[in-house]
Structure 1
Amino acid sequence: MRKKEAHILIVDDDEDILFSARVWLKKFFTEVSCLSQPKNILKFLSEQQVDTVLLDMNFRKGFENGQDGLYWMQEIKTLEPQLPIILMTAYGEVELAVEALKNGASDFILKPWNNEKLYASVNLAVDISRKNKKLNQWENISIKTNQYQLETQSFAMKDVMEQITRVAPTDANVLLLGENGTGKYVLAEHIHELSERKNQPFVHIDLGSLSENLFEAELFGYKKGAFTDAHQDYAGKIENAENGTVFLDEIGNLPLHLQTKLLSLIQNRKLSRIGESKERLLDVRFIFATNENLKKAVAENRFRKDLYYRINTVELNIPSLKERLEDISNLSEYFLDKYKQKYHKPDLALNEVLISELTHYSWPGNIRELDHCIERSVILSNEKNLKLLMPQPEESESTMINLNLEEMEEILIKKALKKHRGNISSAAEDLGLSRAALYRRMEKFEL
């Protein structure tokens, strides 16, 4: 098994503990360091990049109340607030260790430990550490386009935005996947504005709003006389995006016969209008989006496999709003500011009670539904007090209910681990499971 790139620090005054823990963890991680004196921890951390710390709770002889470990944990947190710390404790100190979890420890290990559980705890802490570093790296990310602003505190969304910063400067085809209302248009425009084509046209074509008999004419244009109502030459929307970006929204709605023509255009960069034999060279960048499962559409012969592989050079999955609850507060404030100005009600404000109400709703319509909710609330509120008008259940309750118990179990475990930032004990308590039961389920779902 290939070792994970990670640096583990073990702090214990028992040389046998240091030796056995180091030998075991070196099988899985590239670097494992040991300290027998806690007074050296802060100097070590200031000089070395560490992913997680295994910290004993007792160092002074005659003092076995665990206060040493708590003290040094707080010292580490002062220097590295988000560094995961796993406490090593004896059975008699479990209550104290549980208290330590509430004060910032990521987990605790009982001595003598089970090697598999030691590895699982450290491995999870390393993953949390990496996510924390990414969150810090991207904590100020925001998207501002001509019409919208999108800010995020969500790790899942920040990961998408990180990928966007990498792909935007290229001409690679991008496929945006996600539910309706998750902001695919905003992200497509953001990709365009981060590209070298930003001063050229950005053309949005919503294939879901076009009738099938208009698809070809609107996309590719036509020559005068090509059909009854073709009274003059017409350049299609794709042609009008020359040197810029074409955003083909709801690509899953494109009829099969036009999928062939689009594939030829993407491959050869040549376009022919309806009724015209000559080919026009075209220089555009393509971004595609859909809420449909294109792999399923390919399997059902509703979507060409070769076109699918051509359009998803880079595939980005946009999380739904219920997967990024951290963003509801910022988004709500943004929409409120927007509609306070529009409807001349400058004194309206959101308080903690209203924010809590917003975050406890599932938002099946995603950001678009939140936008409409805030606008409706502003319109129907008086000038001083915001009356939040939440969607009624019949307006928004999903018609598709997942009744697969195993899938729901996996989803709940993922949510609990995310909510508690990977803390096994807290997640298990939230789920009503023992730590051992949660470990078994994590192993079952390969989490």
Structure 2
Amino acid sequence: MRKKEAHILIVDDDEDILFSARVWLKKFFTEVSCLSQPKNILKLMSEHQIDAVLLDMNFRKGFENGQDGLYWMQEIKALEPELPIILMTAYGEVELAVEALKNGASDFILKPWNNEKLYASVNLAVDISRKNKKLNQWENVSVKTNQYQLETKSSVMEEVMDQIAKVSATDANVLLLGENGTGKYVLAEHIHELSERKSQPFVHIDLGSLSENLFEAELFGYKKGAFTDAHQDYAGKIENAQNGTVFLDEIGNLPLHLQTKLLSLIQNRKLSRIGETKERLLDVRFIFATNENLKKAVSENRFRKDLYYRINTVELLIPALRDRQEDIPDLADYFLEKYRQKYHKPKLFLNGSLISELMNYSWPGNIRELDHCIERSVILSNDKNMKLLMPNDEESEKTVVNLNLEEMEEILIKKALKKHRGNISLAAEDLGLSRAALYRRMEKFEL
């Protein structure tokens, strides 16, 4: 799973808490900062764009009434009113935390926390943050990136954009097909932005990253007391998208028995939280995406036929970057501008020979790989002379010079993904791994 570009701030006077929370959240988000002294919060916020804050409720020894946390929550809100704040609290302070929800907190986490619940809460906070306001430079860049990717010069991509323009105004289910890194998330968000639901939440759910035992809890929510760790009522991700759009990514990775539950939800537009008999009416628009061949999966009884026909009212095939080469120069220029600013190297530029080098590469990782290539190149170039670090150059250098097993593993995974054009199932089979094991390694190497 690719890390989400977001900056999370954790504030707690317990170094063990800071360490464990940072290690866990760093797996999912690009930046995680830690503070042991709350007095430094406002200074850090003035220097960095923060997407979500995890805030302890007690900082002074002998004062465990939660007032410290409430005070600093109000200070943060005064500076950034829309910034989501998740309070960290002990079980005995739940009533106070619930009261804090009414005064602006977005959620609270009980110590010791469940890692999956912590991730889900922070991830949702980041999604909400993105919809509420432009928090940081990356968010501004994100919008521009979408525009760059959508202002295509490719005839095959123009056809896709014409279809998107037609379907966006409806509530029809959309299935986006294409290799990893082709921009399915960007296009799903674009469909939402063109729809009448654009002022409502856009919730991205990566089904490939959800463990089976957490599937129902994370998607549908649960009632307090429904199971051992259910200490309070919890609205699932789909319920939190009410009146908006739910983007279910990696739908092809969903096991059969969970496909049945999803089918019922899509058909009936009703959900029940775990532990509840009450049905809640759901008003959301669904967009789905996968790099799997779903027709083949149906024929092999790995994917329900009725679910397949339910999710692909409109089916759009997103072309690989090698099939829309006309867009490579503009995309490369955009990423170069993005990283010139980020790494303070304003004099770098791409000349004709460098553009030709980019055009002559097949880009098995598509736009995402191009993005990473330009970033690495900017980092390793000097202030004036741009030198491309192409993926092939990097891999061949490792192969010749380095016998490190971990790095060789990364090379093999890249080659398998390239060979099978990003198809996770085939690449995993070729490598002798399960899909889940391959996903873990891809996350480890940020592929």
> So what's the TM-score if we normalise by structure 1?
0.56
Query: How do residues 252-291 of structure 1 correspond to structure 2 at under 5 angstroms?
Result: 252-291=252-291
For the residue of structure 1 that corresponds to 2:328, the secondary structure is helix
Whole-Å separation in 2 of the counterparts to 1:302 and 1:145: 36
- Cα offset, 1:213, TM superposition: 1.4
Whole-Å separation in 2 of the counterparts to 1:283 and 1:401: 41
C-alpha spacing 1:189/1:366, structure 2 compared with 1 (3 Å): same
- Cα offset, 1:254, TM superposition: 1.6
One-letter amino acid of the counterpart of residue 336, structure 2 = L
Whole-Å separation in 2 of the counterparts to 1:240 and 1:147: 26
Structure having the higher Rg: 1
Q: Which residue of 1 aligns with 2:179?
A: 179
> What is the CA deviation profile of residues 335-355 of structure 1, one whole-angstrom value per residue up to 9, with x for unaligned ones?
001111111111110010000
Say if 2:382 is the partner of 1:382.
Answer: yes
One-letter amino acid of the counterpart of residue 384, structure 1 = K
Whole-Å separation in 2 of the counterparts to 1:252 and 1:352: 40
One-letter amino acid of the counterpart of residue 254, structure 1 = L
CA contact (8 A) 1:364 1:398 kept: no
CA contact (8 A) 2:244 2:285 kept: yes
- Cα offset, 1:147, TM superposition: 6.2
Whole-Å separation in 1 of the counterparts to 2:357 and 2:416: 19
Q: Which residue of 1 aligns with 2:190?
A: 190
Alignment RMSD (CA, Å): 1.8
- Cα offset, 1:400, TM superposition: 6.9
One-letter amino acid of the counterpart of residue 284, structure 2 = V
For the residue of structure 2 that corresponds to 1:315, the secondary structure is strand
One-letter amino acid of the counterpart of residue 171, structure 1 = D
Query: How do residues 231-246 of structure 1 correspond to structure 2 at under 5 angstroms?
Result: 231-246=231-246
For the residue of structure 1 that corresponds to 2:222, the secondary structure is coil
One-letter amino acid of the counterpart of residue 152, structure 1 = T
Q: Which residue of 2 aligns with 1:292?
A: 292
Say if 2:357 is the partner of 1:338.
Answer: no
> So what's the TM-score if we normalise by structure 2?
0.56
Whole-Å separation in 2 of the counterparts to 1:166 and 1:148: 18
> Which runs of no fewer than 5 residues in structure 1 stay unpaired?
1-142, 403-447
One-letter amino acid of the counterpart of residue 244, structure 1 = G
- Cα offset, 1:268, TM superposition: 1.2
Query: How do residues 151-230 of structure 1 correspond to structure 2 at under 5 angstroms?
Result: 151-230=151-230
One-letter amino acid of the counterpart of residue 364, structure 1 = P
For the residue of structure 1 that corresponds to 2:354, the secondary structure is helix
- How many equivalent residue pairs? 260
- Cα offset, 1:145, TM superposition: 3.5
Q: Which residue of 2 aligns with 1:354?
A: 354
CA contact (8 A) 1:173 1:313 kept: yes
CA contact (8 A) 1:364 1:397 kept: no
C-alpha spacing 1:160/1:298, structure 2 compared with 1 (3 Å): same
> What is the CA deviation profile of residues 12-61 of structure 1, one whole-angstrom value per residue up to 9, with x for unaligned ones?
xxxxxxxxxxxxxxxxxxxxxxxxxxxxxxxxxxxxxxxxxxxxxxxxxx
Q: Which residue of 2 aligns with 1:301?
A: 301
Whole-Å separation in 2 of the counterparts to 1:235 and 1:288: 21
> What is the CA deviation profile of residues 57-95 of structure 1, one whole-angstrom value per residue up to 9, with x for unaligned ones?
xxxxxxxxxxxxxxxxxxxxxxxxxxxxxxxxxxxxxxx
One-letter amino acid of the counterpart of residue 269, structure 1 = R
Whole-Å separation in 1 of the counterparts to 2:332 and 2:392: 18
Whole-Å separation in 1 of the counterparts to 2:307 and 2:217: 20
- Work out which structure has the larger RCO, using CA pairs closer than 8 Å and 6 or more positions apart in sequence: 2
For the residue of structure 1 that corresponds to 2:295, the secondary structure is helix
C-alpha spacing 1:398/1:326, structure 2 compared with 1 (3 Å): farther
Higher fraction of helix: 2
- Cα offset, 1:163, TM superposition: 0.2
Query: How do residues 360-371 of structure 1 correspond to structure 2 at under 5 angstroms?
Result: 360-371=360-371
CA contact (8 A) 2:350 2:386 kept: yes
Whole-Å separation in 1 of the counterparts to 2:374 and 2:357: 12
Query: How do residues 97-112 of structure 1 correspond to structure 2 at under 5 angstroms?
Result: none
- Cα offset, 1:148, TM superposition: 3.5
Q: Which residue of 1 aligns with 2:77?
A: none
Query: How do residues 34-49 of structure 1 correspond to structure 2 at under 5 angstroms?
Result: none
One-letter amino acid of the counterpart of residue 229, structure 2 = D
One-letter amino acid of the counterpart of residue 275, structure 2 = G
One-letter amino acid of the counterpart of residue 254, structure 2 = L
One-letter amino acid of the counterpart of residue 291, structure 1 = N
> What is the CA deviation profile of residues 200-229 of structure 1, one whole-angstrom value per residue up to 9, with x for unaligned ones?
000000111112211111111111111111
For the residue of structure 2 that corresponds to 1:283, the secondary structure is coil
> What is the CA deviation profile of residues 250-292 of structure 1, one whole-angstrom value per residue up to 9, with x for unaligned ones?
0011222221121111111111111111100010000000000
Whole-Å separation in 2 of the counterparts to 1:381 and 1:400: 26
Whole-Å separation in 2 of the counterparts to 1:156 and 1:357: 23
- Cα offset, 1:295, TM superposition: 1.0
- Cα offset, 1:392, TM superposition: 2.1
CA contact (8 A) 2:145 2:334 kept: no
Q: Which residue of 2 aligns with 1:46?
A: none
For the residue of structure 1 that corresponds to 2:248, the secondary structure is strand
C-alpha spacing 1:281/1:399, structure 2 compared with 1 (3 Å): closer
> Which runs of no fewer than 5 residues in structure 2 stay unpaired?
1-140, 396-410, 421-447
For the residue of structure 2 that corresponds to 1:392, the secondary structure is helix
Q: Percent sequence identity over matched residues?
A: 81
Whole-Å separation in 1 of the counterparts to 2:416 and 2:232: 47
Q: Which residue of 1 aligns with 2:112?
A: none
Whole-Å separation in 2 of the counterparts to 1:276 and 1:258: 19
CA contact (8 A) 1:248 1:289 kept: yes
For the residue of structure 2 that corresponds to 1:362, the secondary structure is coil
CA contact (8 A) 2:364 2:418 kept: no
C-alpha spacing 1:147/1:283, structure 2 compared with 1 (3 Å): farther
For the residue of structure 2 that corresponds to 1:371, the secondary structure is helix
- Cα offset, 1:186, TM superposition: 0.2
Whole-Å separation in 2 of the counterparts to 1:256 and 1:180: 22
Whole-Å separation in 1 of the counterparts to 2:370 and 2:419: 22
